[in-house]
Amino acid sequence: MTTTSLLAPFTRRPPRRLSADQRQALRRRRQMWALNIVSVVGGVGLWWVLSVSGFRLPTPPETLRAFALLWEDGTFLSDLGASLTRVLTGFSLGTLLAIPAGFLMGWYWFARGMIEPWVQFFRTVPPLAIIPLAIVLMGIGEQPKIFVIFLAAFLSCVVSTYQGVISVDNTLINAARVLGAGDGRIFLKVVVPASTPFILVGMRVGLGAAWATVVAAELIAAQQGLGYRMQQAQVYYDLPTIFVSLVAIGVLGLVMDRTLLLIEHKLTGWQERR
């Protein structure tokens, strides 16, 4: 064995050269991050200006002090945990049921005829309008809150999944049939990958609906949660505490949305983007 072969595992490989498209994508990503930072700093600055210009808004330092007090006594973490648990549970259940239901609606005309009328019916009824009925039927525990979150996430994701299935190019399906693929293989190898971008978009929309619904549910019947804390702060005109909950919801929603966006980029790298 030669010396070169012995030292091969320890030698540094030359860096992989990026193509022009990869360099442009990397540069665009860095520019986007810079714009995000500028936008956030500008938004906080505008908030500060408005709060000292006569608008009844707490300043960012006042909001930070309220956050520190809620953090010290454990109130913020308990409220955050309660709201996050409800959102994740309802959103997960809604998504897990919406994806197979959307595939069934898009792939089988019989299932579409059976499911679609009910989906369209409940889409016209806001989940917030179902909260009083859910409380009467299920009580004031966690079940009604999780149910309305589940419904909001399900309706957003099932329609997007269904649209993704029916939007698959028939040319791809016919080509797969010509090559001898059966329905099962066509579904797994053609329909599912082509529908994935639609599913992830539906999940992102459903996530926003889940956060909006959990806040409304906690305003009506809850003992913990960010929405409940805002309701209690409203009674005492405690604007900094209200802003703490608002900022927490916005930051959590943004982080979760960016996580789904990252998953979308990983799963749909083959898709052309601007």
Per-domain residue ranges for the chain?
A: 77-267
Query: How confident is the model over 169-189, as pLDDT tens digits?
Result: 777 777 877 777 776 777 777
Confidence band (pLDDT; 50, 70, 90) for 10? very low
pTM score of the predicted model: 0.80
User: What's the CA gap between 227 and 90, in Å, rounded?
Assistant: 16
Q: What is the mean pLDDT of the chain?
A: 81
Read off the pLDDT of residues 23-76 as tens digits, 9 standing for 90 and up.
676 777 788 788 888 888 888 888 888 888 877 888 888 889 999 998 998 889
Q: CB under 8 Å to 244, separation ≥6 — which residues?
A: 63, 66, 67, 70, 76, 229
CATH architecture of 77-267: Orthogonal Bundle (1.10)
